[in-house]
Amino acid sequence: MHARDRLFAVLNGEPVDRTPIWLLFPYHRTSYYADVRVAPSYRAVWAAAQRYAITLNRRNPRVRLWSPEVTEGGEARREGETLVERAWLEYKGRRLCRELRRGPSGTTEKRLLTSDGDLEFYCSLPLNLDPDVIIAELDAQLPAYLQEKAEFPAELGAMMLDLGEPINPLYHAAKLEEYAIWSLTHADLITDWLNRHMQQKRLVYRYFLERGLADVYFLVGSELASPPLVSHRTFQRWVVPYAAELIALIHAHGAKAIQHYHGHIRRILPDFLTMGPDALHTIESPPVGDCTLTEAYRIVGDRIVLIGNIQYDDFRALTPAEMARAVQAVLEECRGKRLILSPTAGPYEEAISERVAANYLAFMQTAWEFC
């Protein structure tokens, strides 16, 4: 089996010759991961990944969130030894501002939304919902995406689109202490905003799905409105219905959906059955998370492929022999189950130590030889 065959066999519930291995390495550069194809310290790891691992080439096309009446701006300047970066939204003479200060004593951030008034103003801003404008923005990005798609060796895996979910911008704009309170005091206002933002998401997803531009879609919103930050009920209002609709849309066009979730998941795992992804990354065992793979399989059965679950920090902390034992333990625990073996996170460091590189190699070679 090629890596692509192995990937889609496990996603379809079909037999595989080996447990698929996913390192979260994209094929093309992203803003949030190291470019493992060209970084010298990853050279041996990248070469081995072409043999042992599947590649999901995660791409992130985006359209403007706001309509043209909303002005977006930003600046960066020095104040003594401190670099101050500001970004703002302005509408009808009122401004919301985010500020990041990097100095000798560390980094501090003021989020865009820190008060009830900020939230109420933010939720009143007109969104970019014009289909013609959205299509034009995506058309402008399409040639670069098609070039990457043409360059990607299909036998390695699949192109994977990460198009966002309605909750994402609100979470990243909000001061989290206030965000948790707003889930109690402003729940209806936020739900209304999510409903409006979902109109844009439908248009964006349909653009790619109707053109058959990717075989896999990656949804990274469920962890942004979940317990213990907000209540289970809030998770069921702010995440579940939107993800369920998007995943149904993905499936209606013959593509696959993978959801991502970090954190305590055991209590809300049944909601993932409602949302209906093909696979779920990542199940984190204690002490980092609260759910073992065995416990997760008791809940999801064979309806969802589980992806995990070697902690990213273990690639720095373990010896290669310890890494091999950790991989064997996961594979033994999941024998006969639908599993993609994976770290819990992706390659953030531009340069890795010899130990981390050796652990990546041990991770792949152990899984490849496991029987």
> Tens-of-pLDDT digits for all 371 residues of the chain?
999 999 999 999 999 999 999 999 999 999 999 999 999 999 999 999 999 999 999 999 999 999 999 999 999 999 999 999 999 999 999 999 999 999 999 999 999 999 999 999 999 999 999 999 999 999 999 999 999 999 999 999 999 999 999 999 999 999 999 999 999 999 999 999 999 999 999 999 999 999 999 999 999 999 999 999 999 999 999 999 999 999 999 999 999 999 999 999 999 999 999 999 999 999 999 999 999 999 999 999 999 999 999 999 999 999 999 999 999 999 999 999 999 999 999 999 999 999 999 999 999 999 999 97
Are 204 and 318 found together in one domain?
yes
Residue 180's pLDDT is 98
Task: Report the amino acid identity of residue 49.
Answer: A
Are 77 and 52 found together in one domain?
no
Residue 243's pLDDT is 98
Are 85 and 166 found together in one domain?
no
Are 73 and 197 found together in one domain?
no
Are 189 and 81 found together in one domain?
no
Cβ atoms of 307 and 265 closer than 8 Å = no
Residue 274 maps to a domain: yes
CA 26 vs CA 2, 4, 162, 236: distances in Å: 17, 14, 12, 31
Are 23 and 79 found together in one domain?
no
Residue 122 maps to a domain: no
Residue 81: give the domain boundaries: 66-112
Are 20 and 75 found together in one domain?
no
Q: Would you mind telling me the total number of residues written for the chain in this entry?
A: 371
Residue 157 maps to a domain: yes
The CATH number that applies at residue 233 is 3.20.20.210
Are 92 and 230 found together in one domain?
no
Residue 328's pLDDT is 98
Task: Kindly give the pairing relationship between strand 82-91 and strand 71-79.
Answer: antiparallel
Give 240's Cβ-side CA count (13 Å radius). 15
Are 46 and 187 found together in one domain?
yes
pTM: 0.96
Residue 79's pLDDT is 94
| Location of structure tokens 């939107």 | 242
Are 103 and 204 found together in one domain?
no
Give 241's Cβ-side CA count (13 Å radius). 9
DSSP secondary structure letters along 283-319: ---TTTSS--HHHHHHHHTTSSEEEEEE-TTHHHHS-
Residue 165 maps to a domain: yes
Token pair listed for 80: 């003594």
- Among 82, 112, 142, where does a domain finish? 112
Are 95 and 218 found together in one domain?
no
Residue 121 maps to a domain: no
Residue 139 maps to a domain: yes
Residue 282 maps to a domain: yes
Cβ atoms of 101 and 84 closer than 8 Å = yes
- Among 51, 86, 112, where does a domain finish? 112
Residue 153's pLDDT is 97
| Domain count along the chain | 2
- Among 51, 84, 112, where does a domain finish? 112
Are 37 and 88 found together in one domain?
no
Per-residue b or e along 335-347, where b marks 16 or more CB atoms closer than 10 Å to that residue's CB: eebbbbbbbbbbb
Token pair listed for 67: 């309509």
